[in-house]
Chain A
Amino acid sequence: MAIPIVYNFRSVKSRWTSTIVAVIGIAGTVGVFVAMLSLARGFKATLVSSGSEDNAIVMRAGATSEMTSGVGLDSVKILQDAPGVARTADGPLLTPEKVLIAPIPLLSTGTDANVQVRGVSPNVLAIRRQIKMKEGRMFQPGLSELIVGKNATTTYTGLTLGNTISLGSTKWQIVGIFDAGGSAFDSEMWGDIHLISGAFKLPDTYFSSATVHLTSAGALQQFKDAVTSDPRLKVDVTREIDYYSKQSTRMTQLITVLGGFVAAIMAIGAIFGALNTMYSAVAERGREIATMRALGFGSASVVTSFLFEALLISFVGGLVGCLAVLPLNGLTTGAMNWQTFSHLAFAFKITPVLLVIGVVFALAMGVLGGMPPAIRAASRPVAHALRDL
């Protein structure tokens, strides 16, 4: 039978000062680790939620983002008639879009940030159905009116309902605030595509992309086959959700790698903290350990007992770290989307899986910090250790 667990609980309690130091070290590391991962998750979730399963985005063949893509009006007309495109009484559900960036000062710092401006068709809300008007109304086609995402209105200067701003050569009135469910669109400004092209002196017959609403999610292949086999078109078709998911990859990798690096450096410190705590525990309790081994508890029992103690400390550290960063959940921050060179607002997303990962990370630190002292405790000659003062 193993050494009773009550021994570990009471030993940890009796050495509470060194225990707290180890707990704080592990908690800090886990906190940073979970915060970084939640940042990456939040960024990815924001972009992925921008896409829809039953929408397809059409871009120039080989283009990696809307910023480097171009689709002509002639192509758009062909796309409108392609099989799989949903239709209403007003026509096919397709929005040719022009994506630009405009510098607007951040509310927080006053420095300019690149805001994504999207010229869209008036039927865009029928295509992107997850987007709802939160305040005000939809822009009127043919008028210099903008609607802005809910994050944009709270992130940038002057993007409030009723305000007028200058974009390109035109003054625009903000007539509505939309809620895109926390997706990337929440950081954008939308207006009539023809007027936006004109304001920025861009050709009105050339677009960044075209997004179509499909008759169903399963209609993608039919649409894709028809479009990509048409010799008049040189385009790529991607399910919208996949496009945004791919867009998030580089940034999430960057955050994960950087966050992982910072957490790894901190973890080394925390492991040394745990090692120090456990080595001092072994040194302080040399005679106790020897006594238990003299009584008949084997080396494995001693290793298990000390490892359990290290895991207990690291588990508490992990829990504290997770609880400490929990308030970050939902907190909105911003970063550059390197695919579009525009500023993107997104929220920390702390999921139960992330918390479990954080605790497992803490336990891993506990094993690394606890195993060498545990082995040392078990391998010391009993007869010598019994003479410890």
Chain B
Amino acid sequence: MIRVDGRGNSSSLIKVRGLNKTYSRGGEKIQVLQGLNLDVDKGDFVAFMGPSGSGKTTLLNLLGGLDVPSAGSITVDGDEITHMSGSKLTHWRARHVGFIFQMYNLIPVLTAYQNVELPLLLTKLSKSERRKHVETALGVVNLADRMHHYPRQLSGGQEQRVTIARAIVSDPTFLLCDEPTGDLDRKSADEIMALIEELVGKYNKTILMVTHDPVVAARAHTTLHLEKGVLVEGKASPQTVMAGGAA
């Protein structure tokens, strides 16, 4: 169950409490997140929406350990990540987070296979074990026959599928998607969203997604809006979201 009131139970997979993020720009302090709370359980699929500059990507970066909050805490699967050192956070990311980016962020000089293999190079898997994992991941995204293609030889939708394979190949604790369909046409976007839904439905993945597109957001279990630095309920089914005073 997803909650934004800070009263989630201790079994929540992701627990965010009093999250603040302030940036300095030209001597001016800009508070992007203000005491944000969030609880996400395993298998949840949540979409974050909000106007540009509302802090969606900042929230995703904080949840993914790519940035550090000004105050508050983030606990994932029992690990509080907000006080981890840079190198510890790097290791944590490798183990727990799968990233899916709007611009795919594939390494252009590596093949699809090599791109998907990258996260596994940080594990102790043998070469043959890595091959098995990569082939499985590429199979899940239906790109087994394109594994030796370079990104430039793939369409946008195919590139995004490689990105998804790279995100799931090491079986991370949760996936973070930053506008996963933002650079795709509607047909490709539908295919990608079907794949993401399959990851949740079939493989019980926990997914947190930022999007501008209400059609895409509608496919998540829950949509939360970022307004003035806090999360508020958007489209949500009453049984999955409980916000203080709202539910």
Same complex: yes
Q: Is the CB of A10 within 8 A of B110?
A: yes
Interface residues of A in 275-295 (CB under 8 A from B): 287-288, 290-295
Interface string of B154-193 (1 = CB under 8 A from A): 0000000000001000000000000000000000000000
Q: A296-B93, A296-B122, A299-B86 are in contact. Are A291 and B107 (CB under 8 A)?
A: yes
The answer to whether A296 and B91 touch across the interface, beta carbons within 8 angstroms, is yes
Chain A residues contacting B95 (CB-CB under 8 Å) are: 296
Known interface pairs A6-B110, A386-B105; A295-B99 also in contact (CB < 8 Å): yes
Residues of A contacting B94 with CB < 8 Å?
295-297
A381 at the interface (CB under 8 A from B): yes
Does A14 sit at the interface, judged by CB under 8 A? yes
Q: Using a CB-CB cutoff of 8 Å, which residues 107-128 of chain B contact chain A?
A: 107-110, 114, 118-119, 121-122
A11 at the interface (CB under 8 A from B): yes
Query: In chain A between 255 and 306, which residues have their CB closer than 8 angstroms to a CB of chain B?
Result: 287-288, 290-299
A3 / chain B contacts, CB cutoff of 8 Å: 121
Closest chain A residue, CB of each to CB of B67 = A383
Q: In the bound complex, do residue B66 and residue A386 qualify as a contact, i.e. CB atoms below 8 Å apart? A: yes
Q: Which A residues are CB-close (under 8 A) to B45?
A: none
Expressed in whole angstroms, the Cα–Cα distance for A2 and B118 within the complex equals: 10
A8 nearest CB neighbor, chain B only: B109
Interface of A, secondary structure class, is helix
- Using Cβ atoms and an 8 Å threshold, which residues of chain A touch B67? 381-383
Return the contact of B90 from the options A4, A287, A293, A383 (Cβ within 8 A). A293
Quick one: closest A residue to B60, CB to CB? A383
- B122–A297 touching, CB < 8 Å: yes
Chain A: CB-nearest residue to B117? A4
From the candidates B64, B90, B110, name the one contacting A298 in the complex (CB within 8 A). Answer: B90
Interface of B is mostly: helix
Residues in A with CB closer than 8 Å to B66 are 294, 382-383, 386
Structural contact, A6 and B114, CB atoms closer than 8 A: yes
A1 touches B (CB below 8 Å): yes
Assess whether A7 is interfacial by the CB under 8 Å rule. yes
Contact of A294 among B99, B103, B114 (CB under 8 A): B99
Say which residue of B87, B91, B101, B109 sits within 8 Å of A299 (CB atoms).
Answer: B87
Residues of B within 8 A of A294 (CB): 64, 66, 93, 99
Q: Which residues on A sit within 8 Å (CB–CB) of B99? A: 291, 294-295
Q: Which residues of B contact A13 (CB under 8 A)?
A: 109
Does A296 lie within 8 Å of B105, measured CB to CB?
no
Question: Chain A residues with Cβ under 8 A from B93's Cβ?
Answer: 294-296
CB of A91 to closest CB in B, whole Å: 79
Least CB separation from B62: chain A residue? A383
- Interface flags for A1-31 (1: CB within 8 Å of B; 0: not) read 1111011001101100000000000000000
Cβ of A292: which chain B residues have Cβ within 8 Å of it? 107, 118
Judge whether B136 is part of the interface by a CB distance below 8 angstroms.
no
| Distance (whole angstroms) from the CB of A312 to the closest CB of chain B | 14
> Quick one: which of A295, A298, A381, A382 contacts B119, CB cutoff 8 A?
A295
Tell me the B residues contacting A by CB distance below 8 Å: 58, 61, 64, 66-67, 86-87, 90-91, 93-95, 99, 101, 103, 105, 107-110, 114, 118-119, 121-122, 166
7 shortest interchain CB distances as A-B pairs? A296-B94, A10-B109, A291-B105, A383-B61, A383-B67, A1-B121, A383-B66
- Can you name 15 A-B residue pairings with CB atoms under 8 Å? A1-B122, A4-B114, A6-B114, A13-B109, A287-B105, A291-B101, A292-B107, A294-B66, A294-B93, A294-B99, A296-B91, A297-B122, A382-B66, A382-B67, A383-B61
